[in-house]
Amino acid sequence: MSTDTPPPPRHKELLDEWISNNYEEYCDFTDMMHSADGVGFEKVFNFASKLAPGFKKAVECRLKDDRATDFKNLEEILHEAKIGNKLLAGFENPLPDSMIPAMLAWLFRGRSFECMTEMGEELIRGGKLTFLARIVFKFTIKTIIYTSISIEARTEDDWRNFCEEQDELGVVPTVTLKVVKKFKSAVPVTDDNVVTTEKKKPKARIAERKPLKELLTDHTLLELIEERVTVKKRAKDIAMLYIALDKAHVLHSCTIVEFHSALDEAFGEKAGYKKIHVRGVQDAHKTFMSRVQNKLVIDFPENKAELADIRDFLDLPAYATV
């Protein structure tokens, strides 16, 4: 199994099974990869450098080469090092504390491509990179998008949805938008995207998100939620809290993104509260609501027990289904 070819159906099943049996380890890995300080990417890069001698030096040179327009030399190094075979062997017979199973599960079953693209866009916007480095990341983003489509991990519509999602967050993914505009697949014609001869009106911005107090039907939950999120700080904990509140019918209709934003607004300056990147929370929620062997992950015994713990801690209504 290699990152430039889609995993066979059997391998997808094995990855889903691994996530089911090692869910906490998977969530810890995704949380690390979505960390704003990039520590996850640094760890993966160092690991790849160990598997492929010469890769680290080649990357450093590539970042300085102002003539290069692709990453073929880097791909060749990984191919010659038989990275795909090494990763497959590491997944089938993992060593203690190996990151290979979690890394492959995230790469092929998580929101890896979106995370990598978003990280690249943020680095370009940050203003701390040299011109040459920004060009390199531009190529990187394009490569990520086209690779995800070529291995059938994502579709062109997936990337259109990603751009819409970024827009809802008030972010402009400049490079990604330019790639998406060049897609050749047809876009359904609706009243929203028909271009007329009249000057196109600016897209209306989404109304300002509601504070947490207004999202809750019971305002007495605020203190308990604050206490909970200063102890349970991982992306999967925030996603689980959202699901528990929704199941208890004490949360007005809102998306996981809106809930995450409301938490940050309410407790962002509180001691002990840790701001988690929204992408990690979305990833955790998506995993909880996905199916493994025709069963929702959220309905696994350990997750139902966690929901029950949240219900008891927050003293949620007894009619909550867990």
Query: Left, alpha or beta for 246 (phi > 0: left; psi -120 to 50: alpha)?
Result: alpha
Phi then psi for residue 286, to 5 deg, are -60, -40
SS3 125: helix
The tokens describing 275, both together, are 């701001």
How many other β-carbons are positioned within 10 Å of the β-carbon of residue 58?
17
pLDDT of residue 153: 84
pLDDT at 5: 54
Sign of CA dihedral 75, 80, 85, 91: negative
pLDDT of res. 243: 93
pLDDT value of residue 318: 60
pLDDT per position as a tens digit, 8-45: 556 778 888 898 888 889 988 998 998 878 889 999 99
pTM: 0.62
User: What 8-state DSSP symbol labels residue 237?
Assistant: H
β-strand partners of 296: 291
Question: Among all chains, which residue has been given the structure tokens 């086209």?
Answer: 146
Please calculate the CA angle 309-17-36 and round it to the nearest 5 degrees.
65
Query: What residues form DSSP beta bridges with 71?
Result: none
Report the pLDDT value the prediction gives residue 202, as an integer from 0 to 100. 42
How far is Cα 78 from Cα 90, in angstroms, rounded to an integer?
A: 16
**What count of other Cβ atoms lies within 10 Å of the Cβ of residue 99?**
18
Output the pLDDT for position 310: 92
Q: Is the pLDDT of residue 221 over 70?
A: yes
pLDDT tens-digit readout, 274-318: 888 888 888 888 888 887 777 888 888 888 888 999 999 998 876
Distance of CA 239 to the CA centre of its chain: 13
Q: How high does pLDDT run on average in the chain?
A: 83
pLDDT at 240: 92
Helix (H, G, I), strand (E, B) or coil at 253: coil
Q: What is the rounded distance in angstroms from the CA atom of residue 276 to the CA atom of residue 72?
A: 35
pLDDT at 239: 92
What tokens appear for 167 in the block? 């827009």
Confidence grade of residue 185 (pLDDT, cut at 50, 70, 90): low
129 alpha carbon, distance to own chain's centre? 23
CA pair distance 315, 309, nearest whole angstrom: 10
Can you give the pLDDT at residue 116?
92
The dihedral formed by the CA atoms of 60, 65, 68 and 73, expressed in degrees to the nearest 10: -30
Six token digits for residue 125:
């916007």
Residue 132 has a pLDDT of: 86
Q: Is the pLDDT of residue 188 over 80?
A: no
**Amino acid letter, residue 221:** L
Check residue 187 and give its pLDDT: 54
Q: How confident is the model at residue 88 (pLDDT cuts 50, 70, 90)?
A: confident
Candidate from 60-69, 133-142, 166-175, 234-243 with smallest mean pLDDT: 60-69
